[in-house]
């Protein structure tokens, strides 16, 4: 009996270690670069130092979080964030691109594995976040229309985009 509990504990710890490891930055950079190449030719990315971001603006509960400056001809033209949010059962990955005026130019769900809530990946839903210069705080089911079958995921991505918006405004006001 003791051997079985040790085996179960080892198995659970192994699962925790495997799931707690983040994707290597190269894998994330590939996804980001693919998105940039297809939408913003000639733009390169430069990683933002972790020290330049105030992670105390809200919390993403320890999920993956990567941030980069977008540059063109050695001039910063925007900021991109690659992060996660929790849907009903699973985490999903998405990116948000802001210009220098802190306006959202692109939101894209990169990976959504859960069988429920994937409707938030639709362009029709995501375009609600774009090009609003004075957007301070999006509220799901208020400024952001709900989407059938994705209430929890829709609320989660809305909250995370609000948090990212506060971070990018702070970065752009330096």
Domain locations in the chain as residue ranges = 23-172
This prediction has a pTM of 0.77
Distance of CA 96 to the CA centre of its chain: 6
- pLDDT for 18: 32
* pLDDT averaged per 10 residues in sequence order, the chain, 174 residues: 41 32 61 79 68 54 78 85 90 92 92 90 94 78 89 93 88 76
- pLDDT for 64: 76
Tell me how far apart the alpha carbons of residues 169 and 148 are, in angstroms, rounded to a whole number.
Answer: 31
> Pick from 112, 114, 109: which is nearest to 96 by CA?
109
- pLDDT for 136: 66
Residue pair 95/106 in contact (Cβ under 8 Å)? The answer is yes
- pLDDT for 60: 61
- pLDDT for 54: 53
- pLDDT for 57: 57
- pLDDT for 156: 93
């Amino acid at each position: 009996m003791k051997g079985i509990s040790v085996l179960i504990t080892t198995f659970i710890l192994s699962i925790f270690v495997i799931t707690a490891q983040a994707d290597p930055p190269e894998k994330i950079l590939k996804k980001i670069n693919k998105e940039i190449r297809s939408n913003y030719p000639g733009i390169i990315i430069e990683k933002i130092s972790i020290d330049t971001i105030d992670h105390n603006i809200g919390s993403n509960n320890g999920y993956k979080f990567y941030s980069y400056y977008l540059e063109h001809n050695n001039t910063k033209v925007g900021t991109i964030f690659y992060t996660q949010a929790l849907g009903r059962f699973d985490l999903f990955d998405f990116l948000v691109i802001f210009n220098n005026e802190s306006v959202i130019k692109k939101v894209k769900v990169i990976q959504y594995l859960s069988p429920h809530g994937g409707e938030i990946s639709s362009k029709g839903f995501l375009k609600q976040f774009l090009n609003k210069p004075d957007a301070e705080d999006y509220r799901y089911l208020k400024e952001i229309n709900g989407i059938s079958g994705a209430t929890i995921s829709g609320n989660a991505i809305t909250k995370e985009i609000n948090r990212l918006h506060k971070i990018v405004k702070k970065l752009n006001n330096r």
